[in-house]
Structure 1
Amino acid sequence: MAELRIQFSLSMIIAGILAEVVSVFWYNNHSPWGRRSGDRYMLAAIVCDAGLVVGVKFIMDNFWSISRWEDAFVLALTLAAIYGCLEGPHMVHDSRSFSWFFFHTVHKFLVVFVIAMALVYFSYLG
């Protein structure tokens, strides 16, 4: 079993901030897609972003090396597909359930992609 040894760095803080920026723009009421997609709670969002940064860093350090943006893309796509497979079988509320599901899955992809890219490109900061 792998040990969880994470050394916190400035790149992890930057990755968390950028993940939250993506989420704020994605779930903004004035987004280009014009959807009101629910409310976000800032404290819960920050805690979840921190957990996601730690998880993605653990995956990158132990299982999935990233040297190019394509590697980060595939990692994000894989984790978004796992999310989609876990969330997909839930109850259908109306005819727009699939579009909401797809909307949230694309958001998860973008957040993981931004975190992975930030961890790679700001790793020189320590």
Structure 2
Amino acid sequence: MSSPGPEERAATTGLGELLSGVTRDLSTLFRQEVELAKAELTESAKQAGKGAGMFGGAAVAGLFALLFLTITIWWAIGYAIGNAWSALIITVVYAIVAAILFARGRAKLKTVRGAPRTVDSLKKIPETVKPGGTR
């Protein structure tokens, strides 16, 4: 004996039972999609973590390269004018670079606006739909 087809089930099943089945199926689909998203995001986060670790290692190596380049320049200038004066020159150069980077960074931070479109759209949500709103 074969199971009834969709038309037969629709004719013999009540509307409440059909809606219950649809709701159950949508709930199952939603849970499965959330689980898939979690799995994908976990994998992406692992890859991002590895990439961030590589960037961190590159930053440390770059810092050491800059340190030894600075020492090399300090000693090279030191042969011409003395180590104390060459160290002062290197310090002033780094202070100028730091001041320029600070000023540019500060200017960039002043242009950050946050999420103005999101704030605007959230203001349009009626009070009845907001959590804790009156119904």
If the length of structure 1 is used for normalisation, what is the TM-score?
A: 0.29
Please identify the structure whose Cα radius of gyration is greater: 2
Where relative contact order (Cα < 8 A, 6+ residues apart) is larger, the structure is 1
If the length of structure 2 is used for normalisation, what is the TM-score?
A: 0.28
